[in-house]
Amino acid sequence: MQPKLPQDERYEQRPDGTIRRFRQQTPPAQSTYIPQPPPDEPPRRRKREKHRRRRVWLYVFALIGVAFVAVEIFRYLIVPLLVQLHIWTGGRL
């Protein structure tokens, strides 16, 4: 029984029964780069960089905020759990 061959490609059947597919020649890849003319307007000015002192203060305030959150977590979460554990164990921790 002959194998069914796809119609979209070209095949050749040899006398010994083997089937050979013809390779289609593909054109070489072309670059899609299109050179652009230079812009009419000059490039925008860069943003002024913040002073180092200002950046240091931002880090200081961030650390104060982190410390505040840590204290609140300890105060409202950890301490009540420790108190409850103390009650459950009857003072023997």
CA-nearest of 16, 18, 15 to 5 is 18
Task: State how far Cα 37 lies from the chain centre.
Answer: 33
Per-residue pLDDT tens digits for 18-77: 777 766 666 667 777 777 877 787 777 887 777 777 788 899 999 999 999 999 999 999
The arithmetic mean of pLDDT across residues 6-14, rounded, is 65
Residue 87, φ and ψ in degrees, nearest 5? -70, -45
